[in-house]
Amino acid sequence: MPRYLDLESCLQAARLTAAAGEMAPFPFVKGVAQCVVVILEIIQKAANNRNDLRDLAESIVNTLVAVRDAVIEHGPTSASRFQNICVEFQDYMTELLSKLNDERRSRGIRRVLKAKKISDDISAYRQRVQAIKEDFLIRTTTTTQLVLSDVQD
């Protein structure tokens, strides 16, 4: 019996078996192999989600550090300018935590079957974090330009 070292090898073997099932006089082999391919693809997507979540977490922490550093640099009086960004970011983090807790409570096959939805959610979260970063950057740049203008005058 062959040993497969990674999920990609398993997928390749299942796809080859499904293709061979086309030529064999046993149509059920093709059907079973195609089911295995679908399941392995879902499992692969779930594994990719873990990596995507790790990347998302890193991006979130980087955003948090950038906001913190800007507030420290500009002092408490200018921190109110960043209040909307921080409130939006906090709301987003609360929603993300809720969804991750719901996903963690899912068990077995439901968790695997939700992999595509989770992947879409991660992508949406990445876009929202990017939008928050862009808004933060615009506000910081504008504030810096105003301060420089005041200094030059």
Predicted pLDDT of residue 21? 72
CA angle 122, 48, 44 (to 5 degrees): 130
For the entire predicted model, the pTM comes to: 0.50
pLDDT tens digits for 72-89?
A: 676 655 556 566 666 676
CA angle 121, 123, 127 (to 5 degrees): 115
The residue whose two tokens read 């796809």 is 15
pLDDT tens digits for 10-47?
A: 778 888 887 777 776 666 667 777 777 776 776 677 66
Higher pLDDT, 57 or 16: 16
Predicted pLDDT of residue 4? 47
Predicted pLDDT of residue 124? 77
Q: b or e along 22-48 (b: 16 or more beta carbons within 10 Å of the residue's beta carbon)?
A: eeeeeeebbeebeebbeebbbebbbee
Residue 147 has pLDDT above 50, yes or no: yes
Predicted pLDDT of residue 1? 40
Task: Report yes or no on 18 lying in a domain.
Answer: yes
Predicted pLDDT of residue 75? 62
The residue whose two tokens read 């968790």 is 111
Task: Report yes or no on 2 lying in a domain.
Answer: no
pLDDT tens digits for 95-141?
A: 776 776 776 666 666 665 566 677 777 777 778 777 877 877 787 78
Task: Report yes or no on 114 lying in a domain.
Answer: yes
Task: Report yes or no on 1 lying in a domain.
Answer: no
| Residue 42, domain extent | 7-151
Q: b or e along 62-88 (b: 16 or more beta carbons within 10 Å of the residue's beta carbon)?
A: ebeeebeebbeebeeeeeeebeebbee
Predicted pLDDT of residue 108? 61
- Alpha carbon 43 to its chain's center: 16
Predicted pLDDT of residue 125? 74
- How many domains are contained in the chain? 1
